[in-house]
Chain A
């Protein structure tokens, strides 16, 4: 008797769960007509947070869509390739570097974009092709921000009357002792080594295209090699600086800014010879219809200006730059923290995507061999 009771109880429970699941599935299915789930790939950390606040949340509120953040931009190209080879692309929109976008575009992994048709005009009616900064609109790419690779230092590690200020100081072990942390890639490091060795920022890539130039850069890096901890994840340099494991750290400027304002870290950025580049959206093949409206929304003037309230990356639209104001939480003025702020920008180097597209494989191998010596 008891056994039967139990069985019966189990059965009803099962039936009930089935019924509930069925009903909710039907409910979801009918909702899906109007609302959808967007899988958006980005970098994570403070940057994804700024996207979440500036455009994901307003969009979800407006449409009822659900946006899922996937932190895979570091390896987005490999991910796109693998998904496309498997014939099942699950990403709807991807945040990517323009150099990767060039390769993905040439491989036919992402959609070519007609910018003037797809994107919003500036408030004064300027078409997108004239409102975005130079190089922001690629064949398959639309930039949303300008970010920068900089070197920051912990102000407590140096006496007040002897604080570093130029990229050459990073290579000056006598006056500025301590460990450095640098990205474990040739990119940025070779540029900085040359600038520290006396090459003018605008000539860096011309010099790097020659064998002597490469040797010169490596020779300069040799002088600090024993004092470098190499980092690979964007979160590492702020951490190492905060722990005082290192005195200097190369980093993305937004991460350092975030640590300065949200965690009150005593960091300062050396803007000298900052290597700036763009970052923005690409659409995997076949997903354009699904993300069209969202892309229009997320790249308009207001949204890009909003994003600059949360992170110190410059908007890729001229019309948004004029609207950059204060930090949303602390109220500090954002302008002086932007890579594009004129005093910061004086000696800036624009990362040469074509140079790195050609030489990255070889220079990375050379860099690794150099590290292993």
Chain B
């Protein structure tokens, strides 16, 4: 019995089988990659890059270093206890002169005005009047505008002369830096963001709870009815789901406003007096009602998909082993639906903290979300750094929730229908 060393297996054309196999696998990998590459590219451009841009904008602080470069250089080594000397003022004049000629002082003056009201007009007015002043610049500038005679102004310029800043994040949580660099709370009459964050979270939690309360029985009914009936019911769930968000929101306004349908009916029935109509919209109630309605399908569908997979025989088995209906429900059925509850819950909660049109339309003052503030800072106050900081905090919260969910339940449990 002589065993010749096993000659490697080859394919018909003489290539070793191993090599051939490797080639085939590599080829199919490349093909698969090419197939998903358009999506990857799209995600990169439309999703990842904007997020990076946002995170970067929330700490980016180029205005002072770019537009007051000479002043910042001249301020180096300043003792911070008395007004800076003539060279600093001369540098400021030169910086402003250049900025005025290039017409780019606007961003600088807006930036400093976020930190200290009055800086916008101080810079713009000074820049416009530069032609009229002569050395010594220190006296001339202070004469022109008191702001330049204040120590805090210079501390502010010094403090903001770093390429990155934390001030936007501090502002997003109602904190600020003192001119000397300590972190303190803003005065009570300026605190808005933190309470809005909390309100956004607790109202989203309340909405999630309500959708669960309303959605669970419906999903159960859907899953247990014969297909013929459940399909009809499913359409009733899906039709509002497919209707425009704006339409559903404005419909709630028509129903709930004080001269609206519901109040009219209540008055006609004599439940309430005409003068004492209920205020059900343009407040928290409005937001909760409208958003619960709008987000309900996002709870029902994952619940339904989980309940559909639970064989009815389990419950029958529990009953035949002597379980009372409630006990068998609690010990057998309910635990099996937990993945559905979690999936629906995380969907509704995350969607809800990002909602913005509905709270803006029906929330009034007490029912608005932090997202309305992001829109405000993007569109009206133009403080994009602060908007980015608030948005980043929301993003962070969503990621934390997602990770907790993934650890406890597993993301693969999320499915719609």
A interface residue numbers (CB < 8 A to B): 75, 77-78, 81, 102-109, 112, 184, 229-230, 232, 243-245, 354, 357-362, 364-366, 368-372
Contact = CB atoms under 8 A, between A and B. Distances in A.
Nearest to A106: B106
Contacts of A370: 189
Contacts of A245: 257-259
A108 B102 contact: yes
B382 A106 contact: no
B344 to A, nearest CB: 31
Contact of A362 (B190, B258, B364): B190
Contacts of B110: 103, 107
Given A359-B117, A361-B113, A369-B189, A106 B103 contact: yes
Contacts of B114: 361
B259 A243 contact: yes
10 contacts: A78-B382, A184-B365, A244-B259, A245-B258, A358-B117, A362-B117, A369-B188, A372-B192, A372-B195, A372-B365
B120 to A, nearest CB: 5
Contact of A354 (B103, B107, B119, B121): B121
A368 B259 contact: no
Contacts of A112: 103
- For the residues of A in contact with B, the DSSP-based class is helix
B379 interface: yes
Given A354-B121, A362-B117, A366-B190, A230 B365 contact: yes
Given A75-B380, A358-B118, A362-B117, A104 B106 contact: yes
B124 interface: yes
B57 to A, nearest CB: 11
Contacts of B378: 78
B258 A106 contact: no
A365 B190 contact: yes
B162 interface: no
Contacts of A359: 117-118
B196 to A, nearest CB: 8
B121 A106 contact: no
Contacts of B364: 229-230
Contacts of A372: 192, 195-196, 365-366
A364 B382 contact: no
Interface residue range, chain B? 35 or more
Contacts of A354: 121, 125
A358 B121 contact: yes
B212 interface: no
A354 to B, nearest CB: 5
A108 B106 contact: yes
Contacts of B106: 103-109
B358 interface: no
Nearest to A371: B365
A367 to B, nearest CB: 9
Nearest to B259: A243
A105 B381 contact: no
Contacts of A364: 381
Interface in B118-150: 118-121, 124-125
Contacts of B259: 243-245
Nearest to B118: A358
A158 B121 CA distance: 44
A106 B106 CA distance: 4
Contacts of B365: 184, 230, 371-372
Contact of A78 (B190, B195, B380): B380
Interface string B171-205: 00000000000000000111110011000000000
Contacts of A77: 382
Contact of A358 (B120, B191, B366, B380): B120
Given A106-B109, A372-B365, 18 more contacts: A107-B104, A109-B106, A229-B364, A230-B364, A244-B259, A245-B257, A354-B121, A357-B120, A361-B113, A361-B117, A361-B383, A362-B190, A365-B190, A366-B190, A368-B192, A369-B191, A371-B365, A372-B196
The 10 closest A-B pairs by CB, nearest first: A107-B106, A106-B106, A108-B103, A362-B117, A75-B379, A78-B379, A368-B192, A371-B365, A369-B192, A358-B121
Interface of B: 102-107, 109-110, 113-114, 117-121, 124-125, 188-192, 195-196, 257-259, 282, 360, 364-366, 378-383
Nearest to A285: B103
Contacts of A360: 381
Nearest to B127: A106
A340 to B, nearest CB: 27
A142 to B, nearest CB: 18
A358 B113 contact: yes
A364 B381 CA distance: 9
Given A107-B107, A366-B189, A361 B381 contact: yes
A371 B283 CA distance: 12
A169 B2 CA distance: 116
Nearest to B282: A229
B373 to A, nearest CB: 8
Contacts of A75: 379-380
Question: Which of A102, A232, A358 has the largest count of B CB atoms less than 10 A from its CB?
Answer: A358
B412 to A, nearest CB: 39
Contacts of A103: 106, 110
A361 B378 CA distance: 13
A362 B380 CA distance: 13
Contacts of A357: 113, 120-121, 124
Nearest to B123: A106
Nearest to A215: B189
B104 A365 contact: no
Contacts of B113: 357-358, 361
Contacts of A230: 364-365
B138 to A, nearest CB: 23
A207 B275 CA distance: 39
A229 B366 CA distance: 11
Question: Which of A75, A105, A362, A368 has the largest count of B CB atoms less than 10 A from its CB?
Answer: A368
A365 B192 contact: yes
B105 A106 contact: yes
Contacts of A371: 365
Question: Which of B124, B259, B364 has the largest count of A CB atoms less than 10 A from its CB?
Answer: B124
Contacts of B107: 107
A78 B192 CA distance: 22
B49 to A, nearest CB: 13
B126 to A, nearest CB: 12
Contacts of B190: 362, 365-366, 369
B122 to A, nearest CB: 8
A46 B185 CA distance: 45
A342 B103 CA distance: 39
Nearest to B102: A108
B168 to A, nearest CB: 13
A108 B104 contact: yes
A360 B380 CA distance: 10
